[in-house]
Structure formats: structure tokens, C-alpha cells
């Protein structure tokens, strides 16, 4: 990934983003996302932040707290990186421990048969891209139908709207995707 600080590239950032007030502190990358959200239009209503974390999980563990609608990447030394997420609506929340079994950039989406039964209007298959509901990245959880994935609807972060997957903004899911690997433990707490 190639990154440039926006200050020396301010004119280009304004041209690319069509924004009148791009932040000089932001970073632009050419993967379709940015730390300020100008290229991916995915600024989270719940900003990513480093927090104190007293859990007993090993560094590198992902902990999803469905009640808080937050995902934590345990860093160690009593800290974690906290992200805002969208979670399953009533009847679709779940808990357990899984591993990330696959990671995909701009994944295709094929709605599972259970979802198609509830929503026959959905497409049977959708190629990856900015309009795809899985967003910029997806991390698949064990043999389940569930994923941690991006979203083309950043306003749903912090809400209970999914069919059990965990949604993040494209900026945040790309950040997490770059920090974890296949085999990472994911603990889903459904309090």
C-alpha cells in the first residue's frame, strides 16, 4: 500500500476527493480508503481509538462485545484498539470463539439461503466493489456464515441491523485486516 501525507498532496487530495476542506493531518492511500474517509466516504460515527483494556486475552486476540457494539484488538500492556461495529439485530446475535479462516479484499457476496428466504429481492450474487454490502475487506469466522466485514453504509455502525455479521466502516475494516492474520482467535461476547 502506498501512502502519502495529505499536506504535500493537498491539491491532489482536493481534486480526488472533491472536498473543499480536506484535512492536512489525514493520510490518503490509493486503495479507496483514507484515515479521514474522503476517498472511501466511510468516516465512522464511532472513531477508532486506543483504550485501556483489562481482559485476560492474549495480544492479537479480537474480542467482539455485542452489547457495547465494539470490537477490540488486544494489543497487550493493558491496551486494546477499539473499533465501532454494527451487530446482529434481535434474534441474530450470537456468541462463541472462532478463528479467522480466510481474508478477502473487495470480496464477492453470495447471500446464504436463509437470508434469501427472508429477502427474496436480494441479488443471488454480487461482485466485490464499493456497492457490495461486504465493503472493502472481509474476515471469515470458522465454518460459520458470519464475517467481520466492511460496509457501504457507515451510518449503521453502532446499530443492531445485520443478520449476525459484524460491520465496520471500510477504513476501520481495512485497518483491522492489515493487523490480523488467518488463524487469529475471535471471541464473540453476547451478554
List, in order of start, the domains of the chain with CATH numbers. 1-41 (no CATH), 49-189 (2.40.440.10)
Whether 118 has a pLDDT exceeding 60, the answer reads: yes
In sequence order, what are the residues at sequence separation of 6 or more whose Cβ sits closer than 8 angstroms to the Cβ of residue 66?
87, 88, 93, 95, 188, 189, 190, 191
pLDDT of residue 176: 98
Of the candidates 51, 45, 52, 41, the one whose C-alpha atom is nearest the C-alpha of residue 19 is 41
Mean pLDDT of 111-117: 88
pLDDT digits (tens, 9 = 90+) for 135-184: 999 999 999 989 999 998 999 999 999 999 999 999 999 999 999 999 99
Q: Which of 139, 165, 173, 188 is catalytic?
A: 165
What pLDDT score does 42 carry?
A: 58
Active site residue 165: yes
pLDDT classification of 6: cutoffs 50, 70, 90: very low
**The pLDDT of residue 94:** 94
Exposure letters 118-130 (e unless 16+ CB within 10 A, then b): eeeeeeeebebee
Q: Mean pLDDT for the chain?
A: 81
Which grid cell sits at 118? 427472508
**Other C-beta atoms lying within 10 Å of the C-beta of residue 86:** 24
Which of 10-24, 80-94, 99-113, 119-133 is predicted least confidently? 10-24
Mean pLDDT of 80-86: 98
pLDDT > 90? residue 112? no
Q: Is 11 a catalytic residue?
A: no
Q: Return all residues near 43 (Cβ < 8 A) that are at least 6 apart.
A: 36, 37, 154, 169, 171
pLDDT-derived band at 57 (thresholds 50, 70, 90) equals very high
State mean pLDDT over 32-59: 72
Query: Taking 80 as the threshold, does the pLDDT of residue 7 lie above it?
Result: no
Count of other CB atoms within 10 angstroms of residue 28: 22
User: What is the predicted pLDDT for the residue at 105?
Assistant: 98
Amino acid at each position: 500500500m502506498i501512502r502519502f501525507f495529505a499536506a504535500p498532496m493537498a491539491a491532489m487530495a482536493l481534486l480526488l476527493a472533491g472536498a473543499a476542506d480536506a484535512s492536512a493531518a489525514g493520510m490518503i492511500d490509493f486503495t479507496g480508503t483514507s484515515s479521514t474517509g474522503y476517498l472511501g466516504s466511510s468516516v465512522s460515527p464511532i472513531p477508532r481509538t486506543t483504550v485501556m483494556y483489562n481482559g485476560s486475552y492474549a495480544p492479537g486476540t479480537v474480542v467482539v462485545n455485542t452489547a457495547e457494539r465494539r470490537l477490540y484488538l488486544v494489543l497487550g500492556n493493558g491496551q486494546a484498539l477499539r473499533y465501532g461495529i454494527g451487530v446482529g439485530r434481535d434474534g441474530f446475535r450470537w456468541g462463541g470463539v472462532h478463528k479467522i479462516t480466510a481474508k478477502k479484499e473487495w470480496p464477492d457476496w453470495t447471500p446464504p439461503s436463509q437470508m434469501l428466504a427472508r429477502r427474496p429481492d436480494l441479488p443471488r450474487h454480487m461482485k466485490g466493489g464499493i456497492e457490495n454490502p461486504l465493503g472493502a475487506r472481509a474476515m471469515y469466522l470458522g465454518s460459520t456464515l458470519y464475517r467481520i466485514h466492511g460496509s457501504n453504509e457507515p451510518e449503521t455502525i453502532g446499530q443492531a441491523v445485520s443478520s449476525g455479521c459484524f460491520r465496520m466502516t471500510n477504513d476501520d475494516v481495512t485497518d483491522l485486516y492489515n493487523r490480523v492474520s488467518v488463524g487469529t482467535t475471535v471471541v464473540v461476547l453476547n451478554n
